[in-house]
Amino acid sequence: MGNEVTEAHRIYGQLWRKTVALLKSGGLRIDPLLRNKSGDLRRGVTLVARPDAGVRKQAAAFVRKAAVICPNQHFYQPAELHMTVLAIIPGSESWRTQIHRLSAYRTVLDRVLKGRRTFSVKFQGVTASPDAVMIQGFPVDSALAQLREELRAAFRQHGLGENLDRRYKIATAHLTVIRFFKPKADWQRLLAFLQAHRETDFGETRFQSLQLIWSDWYASVGIARVLQEYPLQN
């Protein structure tokens, strides 16, 4: 467990240092597709874990304050908050070329997730990337890391691994809460706000289930659909 937490701290810290410089210079990556989400054709299938009501409440309070300081960005609704366990079919406009394999993916998921135990993640502090703000998540043990590796191995064993980790190998347990949308904003004020919340305690979730969802890039309410829920064992 210590290695996973240390690695998470390293990744979050690296992102923070890079993004601080961009906030100061105004060099953030603005998502142009948020101007017209209906025209964004990216879709994908993802295995996610949803934070509990307590974490969602704390995250929503943080987002409301951020919206006052830096309005007109893209703020996630509480129902949209999720921690990505693994991107099964990575979000893209070419999702239709992969969706025919969904049944095979689900067969592997059914086998690997059967009888899987619950696991906990502590949500503490915030960080930022060049295009988003995230609540940091720290698994309390190695269960999440082991699950991801078992899923990767099982998919590859069945010839389904070529799209895994296509963008990057996910190794953290964060919740994305804001995406940058408008280029003109008081970035210095946002930076001060984020710095003040670098160690804020958002709570801890013991995940009782995982969801396989089909969704757009943002897991938007009204588009995201739960394909299957996998209960975890206490």
| Structural tokens at position 213 | 């969802």
Confidence band for 96, pLDDT divided at 50, 70 and 90: confident
Q: What is the average pLDDT value for the chain, to the nearest integer?
A: 92
Segment 168-225, tens digit of pLDDT: 578 899 999 999 999 889 999 999 999 999 999 999 999 999 999 999 999 999 999 9
Q: Is the pLDDT of residue 161 over 80?
A: no
Which segment of 100-104, 117-121, 136-140 scores lowest on mean pLDDT?
A: 100-104
pLDDT recorded at residue 1: 54
Q: Give this prediction's pTM.
A: 0.94
Q: Return the minimum-mean-pLDDT range out of 7-11, 32-36, 84-88, 184-188.
A: 32-36
Residue 37 has pLDDT above 60, yes or no: yes
Band (167; pLDDT cuts 50, 70, 90): low
Residue 3 has pLDDT above 90, yes or no: no
Using a pLDDT cut of 70, give the percent of the chain over it: 97
User: Within a 13 Å sphere around the CA of 207, how many CA atoms are in the beta-carbon half?
Assistant: 30
The pLDDT score that the predictor gives to residue 91 is: 84
| Packing angle, helices 2-25 and 187-196, rounded to 10 | 160
HEC-encoded secondary structure of the chain: CHHHHHHHHHHHHHHHHHHHHHHHHCCCCCCHHHHHHHHCCCEEEEEEECCCHHHHHHHHHHHHHHHHHCCCCEECCHHHCCEEEEEEEEEECCHHHCHHHHHHHHHHHHHHHCCCECEEEEEEEEEEECCEEEEEEEECCCHHHHHHHHHHHHHHHCCCCCCCCCCCCCCCCCEEEEECCCCCCCHHHHHHHHHHCCCCEEEEEEECEEEEEEEECCCCCCCCEEEEEEECEC
Looking at domain 2-33+41-231, which CATH architecture does it have?
A: Alpha-Beta Complex (3.90)
pLDDT at 99: 87
